[in-house]
């Protein structure tokens, strides 16, 4: 019951997915060959394992042979990245049918991902999704991992989301999106892709958690002492957040948070569904045990901009809702005290119309880190998902870049060639402008 | 605990409004009636005096404002371990079958050890704490190592024990109470422990794998002989008294894989038992060395690290040598080239491409020095000076790998100053043999028209009458006409040492 299907789209989605399932396997004691690690320790351990087998189920499917296969799908329009998984460390974890690749890629072009190349692959993807969904007793929803700026991540995702809404209308769909970094860009046409995909996916997604490469890069560089952070370091940090968000789905805990609960508690209006993520404590492995982090320490830390995974300034906006997901050695008494302290701080401003803005989740399973990684193992951690009006800054930046390029119709012909029309661009831009206005409106006082 | 006039209260750790202190005195302080406790604060500025009042010295403090007198009822002595666990996790008495928590963190709750745990018959209450694997007792009110052992003894499966920030009194005798057989990780940061005490405590932990001793002002005084032999990770950060000579004392720990020496003030390392290009016998298993925030300012440091047999990863941030942002890139390449087996530097993997680039850069950068020190392509003629070999121990190896640096690679770029761009030219007058041959320095970008103008003023001949050509010693006999006035000398490839021929 309560199963979740993860769909990883495009290079970003697939690389995050790789790190993500590696971490899940570590947390559940699953070996790279899908077998659960047989712990030959005292009885209490075994009792514990039996108890948690039920929770495995949400993310892993147990086959008759005793193997645990992830409930995931990896999709890309070109084969190189997926081949990396097919030949990588975890190749025996996944069934070959879960790794789907096309032959011609989207070339950073939303139109190709959505119309020309994407439309050839979509039916196969939906078929596989159906198969995975049939294996579930009570599918809760989908978790989609993708980037905004890439061709597959933007175009193919919007196509997929539309079709998923058609087939599975009552299932939750949550997204983990890599937002284009303000100063580091990987593609010139990122703004186009991002605006177009946001316009077409907004009505089909229930909640989109955003992560931005620049913010994570800065964290790795400043806090973790990594001189030149690679995508591997960045992804390892991002999956800690993903793991925290899905922890209550995978482990029993005193205060669980379901997928639907995220929606209910974080999304005040259907279109205002872009929470910002933050994580604490972020400690370098070289400084393990140097400092003790109490519950109130980590709660305060996640309101600092240096712990955020998106570059925006929450002090310039107001919080509409806040979800605090604690992991590890955390007791409710301390959490209540920490939250009370936060509410009394002036720097954390809530909108007038939301007096109790906090949702708390507690899971006692300790956070784990990948061996040989940059993070130190800590006793407790917190992941904060906050819906703040300050995120409109991110949209404004994107829209501005879009406007600059669109004014000159630069690079537009690549999209028009694949069958898109200028009208779609205008529509998308209008939609984003409306989104910005919506954010401003909710942030206003009575 | 209100009975405070017993002598055993002296030395106990207490807490008052978040500040920790040690009890140094208990008794009466005239003229004010009633019992008083004299405490020495951890924070030396918290107190009012140094233990004396109106002339009488009641106790001694290390600092003139380190002490205070406090009423016993204002002071918190803490609770015992079991009570602290119960209070935090709100547990019921009696055994629980479904004990999931393995970590017990009593981070900020004052805990003092039980004095009556086993003898008052509450052994069975230990059932649910029996399986605890990790205990974090940092920042508590434990006052001695014996108390820690008292707690830990009951926890047969204890693997991780953290007692940081407790000012502990360590046993002075060599006999230790209790053995922590399952203990793998011991954290003693900021406990004021000395090296001798570390060794004594470690004697009770035969399987110890990780030992954290940050900020203890440790001075390594003796070589561990039977203890610490299983230790894989040793954290000695922020112990400013450590210097490289003390490191020799821990150099023979057989399993030591990770050594953290951040913020210790270290500026150099030497392995005298190994010559240039040889491996030392010290630190045989050391894979990862952390030397951030130190005083390393000599490149020879990295040459010494090259001697370590197993080194794979190094973190060397925020040292004087690597501090400048502009030079960070060059510093990184130089470090990579100096230590051949390094796979990870500052937590970034060194890809084969980067290593190749670094080594080629190194070879080129020191090529001239190599030549001057006697280096030569031909192995027969190669006689390098001792000095060069000490400063660049890997250079020979790099020459073997990539070939000796060629001359054209080593030509240094002349700085772009005007005087470097001037051509020294001779000026001859073939028709006027009695005129002296002049030598002039002219910029290559000078146009022929301007040259003619210069010569015209010199020779008092009108410009329009002048005919210029030049000849080069490289091509004797050939004369090249400079007929286009608007072109420059450079255009005609006039070079240094050529000769201008002027006719009119």
Q: Which of B349, B233, B104 is closest to A229 using CA atoms?
A: B349
Contact yes or no for A224 and B347 at CB 8 A:
yes
CA A273 to chain centre: 13
Q: Which of A364, A251, A48, A365 is closest to B99 using CA atoms?
A: A48
Contact yes or no for B349 and A290 at CB 8 A:
no
* Phi, psi values for residue B430, rounded to 5°: -60, -35
Distance from the Cα of A281 to chain B's closest Cα (Å) equals 16
* CB-closest option in A227, A288, A294 to B346: A227
**Which CATH number fits the domain A396-444, given the four candidates 1.20.1560.10, 3.30.70.20, 1.10.287.600, 3.90.420.10?**
1.10.287.600
Assigned token pair, A79? 């084969």
- Residues of chain A contacting B107 with CB distance shorter than 8 Å: 292, 294
Secondary structure (DSSP) of B17-42:
TTEEEEEEEEEEETTEEEEEEEEEES
Q: Does A54 touch chain B (CB under 8 A)?
A: no
Domain boundaries, chain A: 3-34+55-395, 396-444
Model pLDDT, residue B114: 32
pLDDT (tens digit, 9 = 90+) per residue, A203-255?
999 999 999 989 999 999 899 988 888 888 899 999 999 999 998 888 877 88
Element (H, E) at A261: helix A259-266
Give the count of alpha carbons within 13 A of B8, CB side only. 5
Domain containing residue B67: CATH number: 2.30.30.190
> Is B192 among the domain residues?
no
Model pLDDT, residue B93: 44
What are the start-end ranges of the E strands in A60-138?
Answer: 60-62, 68-70, 72-76, 99-101
pLDDT 10s per residue in chain B (504 long)? 444 456 677 888 888 887 888 888 888 887 788 888 888 888 888 888 887 877 788 888 888 888 888 888 888 887 777 777 777 766 544 334 334 444 555 544 444 433 322 222 233 344 455 667 788 888 888 888 888 887 888 777 788 888 888 888 887 765 555 678 889 999 999 988 999 889 888 888 888 999 999 999 999 988 988 889 999 999 999 999 988 889 999 999 999 999 999 999 898 888 888 888 788 999 999 999 999 999 988 888 999 999 999 999 999 988 888 776 567 778 888 899 999 999 999 998 899 999 999 999 898 888 888 888 887 777 777 778 888 888 888 888 888 888 888 877 777 666 666 666 788 888 888 877 777 788 888 888 888 888 888 888 888 888 888 888 888 888 888 888 888 888 888 888 888 888 888 888
Q: What percent of chain A has pLDDT over 90?
A: 59
> Is B463 among the domain residues?
yes
- Residues of chain B contacting A225 with CB distance shorter than 8 Å: 292, 315, 317, 346-347
Contact call for residues B25 and B124 (beta carbons, < 8 A): no
Q: Rounded CA gap, B345 and B335, in Å?
A: 8
Model pLDDT, residue B7: 64
> Is B478 among the domain residues?
yes
Distance from the Cα of B8 to chain A's closest Cα (Å) equals 30
Name A123's Cβ contacts closer than 8 Å, sequence gap at least 6: none
Kindly list the distances between the CA atom of residue A429 and the CA atoms of A160, A270, A417, in Å, as whole numbers in the listed order.
21, 19, 20
- CA B493, B495, B500: angle at the middle one, nearest 5? 90
Q: For testing the chain B interface, which of A227, A291, A373 should be mutated: the one with the most B CBs within 10 Å?
A: A227
Secondary structure (DSSP) of B55-98:
TEE----SSTT-EEEE-GGG-B--B-HHHHHHHHHTPPSS--S-
Using CB atoms within 10 Å of the CB of residue A337, give its burial: 0 to 12 exposed, 13 to 18 middle, 19+ buried. middle
- Residues of chain A contacting B131 with CB distance shorter than 8 Å: 42, 44
Instruction: Give me the number of domains chain B comprises.
Output: 3
Kindly list the distances between the CA atom of residue A134 and the CA atoms of A128, A131, B226, B501, in Å, as whole numbers in the listed order.
10, 5, 61, 95
Burial state string for B391-417 with b = 16 or more CB within 10 A and e = fewer than 16 = bbbbbbebbeeeebbeeeebeeeeeee
- Asked if A261 is an active-site residue, the reply is yes
* Prior bond of B31 cis (ω within 30°): yes
Interface of B with A (CB under 8 A): 88-90, 97-105, 107-108, 131, 134, 136, 138-139, 157, 162, 164-165, 187, 189, 212, 214, 235, 237, 260, 262, 290, 292, 315, 317, 328, 332, 345-349
Domain containing residue B461: CATH number: 3.10.20.90
The domain boundary, picked from B74, B90, B105, lies at: B74
The DSSP letter of residue B49 is: B
Q: Which residue of A has its CA nearest to B261?
A: A286
Element (H, E) at A297: helix A295-301
Model pLDDT, residue B97: 36
Q: What is the 3-state secondary structure (H, E, C) of B312-352?
A: CEEECCCCHHHCCHHHHHHHHHHHHHHCCCCCEECCEECCH
Q: Which of A301, A275, A269 is closest to A386 using CA atoms?
A: A275
Q: Rounded CA gap, A348 and B109, in Å?
A: 28
Q: Rounded CA gap, B66 and B68, in Å?
A: 7
- Residues of chain A contacting B264 with CB distance shorter than 8 Å: none
Q: Considering the candidates A27, A162, A261, A427, report the single residue annotated as catalytic.
A: A261
Strand, helix or coil for residue A164: helix
Using CB atoms within 10 Å of the CB of residue A35, give its burial: 0 to 12 exposed, 13 to 18 middle, 19+ buried. middle
> Is B31 among the domain residues?
yes
CA A119 to chain centre: 25
Contact yes or no for B103 and A42 at CB 8 A:
no
Element (H, E) at B246: helix B244-247
A96, A97, A103, A107: CA torsion to nearest 10 = -100
Q: For testing the chain A interface, which of B90, B99, B100 should be mutated: the one with the most A CBs within 10 Å?
A: B100
pLDDT (tens digit, 9 = 90+) per residue, B184-229?
999 999 988 999 889 888 888 888 999 999 999 999 988 988 889 9
Class of domain A3-34+55-395: alpha beta
> Is B82 among the domain residues?
no
Contact call for residues A402 and A195 (beta carbons, < 8 A): yes
Q: For testing the chain B interface, which of A327, A379, A381 should be mutated: the one with the most B CBs within 10 Å?
A: A379
Chain A 281-310, residues with CB within 8 Å of chain B CB atoms? 286-290, 292, 294
Q: Which residue of A has its CA nearest to B258?
A: A286
Q: Does A380 touch chain B (CB under 8 A)?
A: yes
> Is B387 among the domain residues?
yes
Task: Give the domain range for residue B46.
Answer: 7-74
Q: Rounded CA gap, A439 and A390, in Å?
A: 9
Contact yes or no for A51 and B165 at CB 8 A:
no
Q: Which residue of A has its CA nearest to B328?
A: A227
* CB-closest option in A287, A289, A294 to B162: A289
- Residues of chain A contacting B347 with CB distance shorter than 8 Å: 224-227, 233, 374
> Is B48 among the domain residues?
yes
Q: Which residue of B has its CA nearest to A363?
A: B101
Within a 10 A sphere around the Cβ of B244, how many other Cβ atoms? 15
Model pLDDT, residue B130: 64
Q: For testing the chain A interface, which of B89, B347, B354 should be mutated: the one with the most A CBs within 10 Å?
A: B347
> Is B129 among the domain residues?
no
- Residue ranges of chain A with pLDDT lower than 50? 39-54
Q: Are B382 and B448 members of one domain?
A: no
Contact yes or no for B347 and A329 at CB 8 A:
no
Distance from the Cα of A367 to chain B's closest Cα (Å) equals 12
Contacts across the A-B interface (CB distance below 8 Å): 80
How high is the ipTM of this complex? Answer: 0.83
Contact yes or no for A286 and B260 at CB 8 A:
yes
CA-derived radius of gyration, chain B: 38
Kindly list the distances between the CA atom of residue A38 and the CA atoms of A42, A45, A411, B85, B285, in Å, as whole numbers in the listed order.
12, 10, 56, 30, 30
- Residues of chain B contacting A333 with CB distance shorter than 8 Å: 88
Q: Rounded CA gap, A207 and A264, in Å?
A: 10
Using CB atoms within 10 Å of the CB of residue A103, give its burial: 0 to 12 exposed, 13 to 18 middle, 19+ buried. exposed
């Amino acid at each position: 019951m309560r199963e979740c299907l993860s769909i990883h789209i495009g290079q970003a989605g697939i690389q995050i997915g790789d790190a993500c399932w590696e971490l899940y396997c570590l947390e559940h004691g699953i070996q790279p060959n899908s077998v659960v690690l047989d712990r030959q320790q005292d009885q209490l351990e075994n009792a514990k394992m039996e108890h948690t087998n039920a929770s495995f189920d949400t993310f892993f499917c147990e086959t008759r042979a005793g193997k645990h296969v992830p409930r995931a799908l990896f999709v890309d329009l070109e084969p190189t990245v997926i081949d990396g998984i097919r030949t990588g460390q975890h190749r025996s974890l996944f069934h070959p049918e879960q790794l789907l690749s096309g032959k011609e890629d989207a070339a950073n072009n939303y139109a190709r991902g959505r119309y020309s190349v994407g439309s050839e692959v979509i039916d196969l993807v939906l078929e596989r999704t159906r198969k995975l969904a049939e294996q579930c007793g009570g599918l809760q929803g989908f978790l989609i991992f993708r980037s905004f700026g890439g061709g597959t991540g933007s175009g193919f995702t919007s196509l997929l989301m539309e079709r998923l809404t058609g087939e599975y209308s009552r299932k939750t769909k949550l997204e983990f999106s890599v937002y284009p970094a303000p100063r580091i860009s990987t593609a010139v046409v990122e703004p186009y892709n991002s605006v177009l995909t946001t316009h077409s996916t907004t009505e089909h997604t229930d909640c989109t958690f955003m992560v931005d490469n620049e913010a994570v890069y800065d964290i790795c560089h400043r806090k973790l002492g990594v001189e030149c952070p690679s995508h591997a370091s960045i992804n390892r940090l991002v999956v800690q957040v993903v793991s925290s968000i899905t922890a209550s789905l995978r482990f029993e805990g005193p205060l669980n948070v379901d997928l639907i609960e995220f929606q209910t508690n974080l999304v005040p209006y259907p279109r205002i569904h872009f929470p910002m993520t933050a994580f604490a404590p972020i400690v370098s492995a070289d400084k393990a045990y140097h400092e003790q982090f109490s519950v109130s320490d980590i709660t305060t830390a996640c309101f600092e901009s240096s712990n955020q995974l998106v570059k925006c300034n929450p002090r310039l906006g107001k919080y509409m809702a806040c979800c605090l997901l604690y992991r590890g050695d955390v007791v409710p008494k301390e959490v209540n005290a920490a939250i009370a302290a936060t509410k009394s701080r002036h720097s954390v401003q809530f909108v007038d119309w939301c007096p109790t803005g906090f949702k708390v989740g507690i899971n006692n399973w300790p956070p784990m880190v990948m061996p040989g990684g940059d993070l130190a193992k800590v006793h407790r951690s917190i992941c904060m998902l906050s819906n703040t009006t300050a995120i409109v800054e991110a949209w404004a930046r994107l829209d501005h870049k879009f406007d600059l390029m669109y004014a000159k119709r630069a690079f537009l012909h690549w999209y028009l060639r694949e069958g898109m029309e200028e009208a779609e661009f205008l529509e998308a831009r209008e939609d984003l402008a409306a989104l910005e206005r919506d954010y401003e409106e909710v942030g206003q006082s009575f | 605990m209100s009975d405070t006039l017993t002598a055993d209260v002296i030395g106990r750790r207490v807490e008052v409004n978040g500040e920790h202190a040690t009890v140094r005195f208990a008794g009466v302080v005239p003229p004010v009636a009633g019992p008083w406790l004299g405490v020495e604060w951890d924070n030396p500025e918290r107190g009012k005096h140094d233990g004396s009042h109106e002339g009488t010295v009641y106790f001694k403090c290390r600092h003139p404002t380190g002490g205070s007198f406090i009423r016993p009822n204002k002071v918190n002595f803490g609770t015992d371990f079991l009570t602290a666990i119960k209070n935090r996790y709100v547990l019921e008495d009696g055994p629980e079958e479904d004990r999931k928590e393995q970590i017990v963190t009593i981070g900020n709750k004052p805990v003092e050890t039980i004095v009556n745990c086993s003898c008052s018959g509450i052994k069975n209450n230990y059932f649910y704490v029996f399986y605890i694997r990790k205990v974090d007792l940092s920042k508590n009110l434990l006052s001695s190592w014996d108390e820690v052992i008292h707690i830990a003894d009951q926890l047969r499966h204890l693997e991780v024990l953290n007692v940081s920030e407790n000012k502990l009194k360590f046993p002075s005798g060599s006999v230790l109470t209790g053995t922590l057989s399952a203990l793998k990780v011991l954290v003693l940061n900021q406990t004021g422990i000395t090296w001798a005490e570390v060794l004594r405590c470690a004697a009770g932990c035969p399987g110890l794998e990780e030992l954290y001793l940050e900020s203890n002002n440790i001075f390594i005084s003796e070589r561990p002989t039977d203890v610490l032999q299983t230790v894989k990770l040793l954290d000695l950060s922020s112990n400013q008294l450590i210097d490289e000579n003390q490191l020799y004392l821990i150099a023979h720990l057989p399993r030591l894989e990770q050594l953290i020496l951040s913020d210790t003030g270290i500026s150099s390392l030497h392995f005298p038992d190994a010559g240039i290009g040889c491996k030392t016998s010290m630190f045989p298993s050391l894979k990862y060395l952390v030397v951030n925030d130190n005083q390393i300012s000599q490149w020879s440091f990295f040459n010494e690290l090259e001697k370590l047999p197993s080194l794979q990863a190094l973190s060397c941030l925020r040292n004087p040598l690597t501090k400048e942002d502009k030079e960070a890139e060059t510093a990184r390449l130089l470090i990579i080239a100096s230590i051949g087996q390094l796979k990870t530097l500052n937590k970034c993997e060194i890809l084969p491409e980067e290593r190749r680039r670094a080594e080629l850069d190194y070879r080129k950068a020191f090529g001239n020095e190599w030549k001057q020190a006697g280096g030569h392509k031909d192995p027969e003629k190669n006689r390098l000076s001792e000095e060069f070999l000490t400063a660049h121990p890997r250079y020979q190896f790099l020459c073997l790998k990539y070939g000796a640096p060629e001359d054209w690679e080593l030509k240094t770029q002349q700085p772009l100053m005007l005087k470097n761009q001037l051509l020294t030219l001779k000026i001859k007058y073939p028709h006027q043999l009695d005129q002296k041959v002049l030598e002039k320095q002219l910029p290559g970008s000078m146009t022929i028209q301007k040259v003619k103008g210069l010569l015209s003023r010199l020779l008092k001949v009108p410009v329009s009458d002048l005919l210029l050509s030049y000849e080069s010693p490289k091509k004797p006999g050939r004369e090249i006409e400079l007929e286009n006035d608007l072109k420059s000398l450079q255009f005609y490839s006039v070079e240094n040492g050529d000769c201008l021929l002027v006719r009119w």
